[in-house]
Amino acid sequence: MAWDLLLLASGLALLVAGGEGLVRGSTDLAARLGLSKLIVGLVILGFGTSAPELLVSIQAALAGSPAISIGNVVGSNIANVLLIIGLVALIAPLPNRDPAIRRDAAVTLAASIVIVLLFLTGTIDRIAGFLLFGALLVYVAVCYVLETRRARASAQGDEAVETASMSPLLAGVAVVAGVAMLVFSARFMVDGATGIARDLGISEAVVGLTIVAIGTSLPELATAIVAARKNESELVLGNVFGSCIFNILCILGITAIIMPIPVDERFAFVDGPVMIAVAAASAVYLFTRGVIGRKTGAAMLLAYGGYLVAQAGI
């Protein structure tokens, strides 16, 4: 048990450091290549903060623990909305000004419904994996077109990212080191989580939905807190919903392409519907309210706490 806890803690530490290195290094390289903030935010930052979930899910599937793989994605999406948005809104109210946020919230809801329908089939096969990943490519392309048109219409153009702060060599090392740490963190977290589940008699699904999901959501949480301190509410909400979309379409898509994923029925009838309910509630709220205030943030945190308590009783 002590060894498993050490593996899990080491994995979490490497995950945070690796995610930070990947995002910072990638952003700096993008700046030197003259790529726009739009591309960096949509692709590099979105993928970078979801990279831990991707590697953990692939590692879990290859290790014969599909419940951790799926639980990681479902649990991360629930944590992204209830825990991250709730915590940040409690710190500082989040204005909802950008229509792109409402678009991404609606896409998150649609993707959640589709994946739960796939859960009902009992297996996410390779064909479904290709379709999910294809849907992600379409989503990214549509976002690029829409955001580029909006930037031109507002006469802002496709401005460059912030000035690079690292040398090209240092930025490249940061990217490579970040990826390496994410790979090792994924292995440590899966081994530690499965060991804890085995020692305590807890199902791998519950471990994936809670411990692993919260751990892999730390990059999104760190990014959200930094953005909130800079009063960039669009970045907070955009990163959360963008990550949710990547989690479903990219992570489960790629994992299923590598190896078809058998689905525990609890994901189809318990946790999947919870994910849909959370996505639906957030989408409705964003379409009808202008600000996510502190009271709403507190309610979201209470809801997440209730979800964790319910997991302990399952």
Per DSSP, the three-state class of 298 is: helix
* Pick from 83-92, 153-162, 203-212: least confident: 153-162
Question: Does residue 138 or residue 238 have the better pLDDT?
Answer: 138
Question: Does residue 262 or residue 23 have the better pLDDT?
Answer: 262
Question: Does residue 209 or residue 109 have the better pLDDT?
Answer: 109
Q: To which H or E segment does residue 94 belong? A: strand 94-95
Taking alpha carbons only, the member of 106, 116, 134, 149 closest to residue 242 is: 106
How many CB atoms within 10 Å of residue 130?
A: 14
Cα 169 to chain centroid, rounded: 29
Instruction: Report the predicted TM-score, pTM, of the whole model to 2 decimal places.
Output: 0.81
Indicate the length of the chain as a whole number. Answer: 314
Write down the mean pLDDT value for the chain: 83
pLDDT beyond 60 at 38: no
Domain boundaries defined on the chain: 2-313
Question: Does residue 12 or residue 311 have the better pLDDT?
Answer: 311
CATH of 2-313, one of 3.30.420.40, 1.10.1060.10, 1.20.1420.30, 1.10.3720.10: 1.20.1420.30
Virtual CA dihedral for 269, 311, 277, 99, nearest 10 degrees? -130
Average pLDDT over every residue of 226-255: 83
pLDDT of residue 110: 98
pLDDT beyond 70 at 201: yes
* Nearest-10 crossing angle of helices 233-245, 46-62: 30
**C-alpha span between 253 and 237 (Å, rounded):** 23
pLDDT tens readout for residues 254-281: 999 999 999 999 999 999 999 999 999 9
Cα 67 to chain centroid, rounded: 17
Decide: 279 and 105 in contact? Cβ < 8 Å: yes
* Partner residues linked to 95 by β-bridges: 291
- Give the pair of three-digit tokens for residue 75: 């649990």
Cα 202 to chain centroid, rounded: 24
pLDDT beyond 90 at 128: yes
pLDDT of residue 161: 47
How many CB atoms within 10 Å of residue 17?
A: 15
pLDDT tens readout for residues 77-113: 999 999 999 999 998 888 887 788 899 999 999 999 9
Radius of gyration of the chain (CA): 19
Per DSSP, the three-state class of 157 is: coil
Q: Is 155 left (phi over 0), alpha (psi -120 to 50) or beta?
A: left
pLDDT beyond 50 at 222: yes
Decide: 267 and 311 in contact? Cβ < 8 Å: no
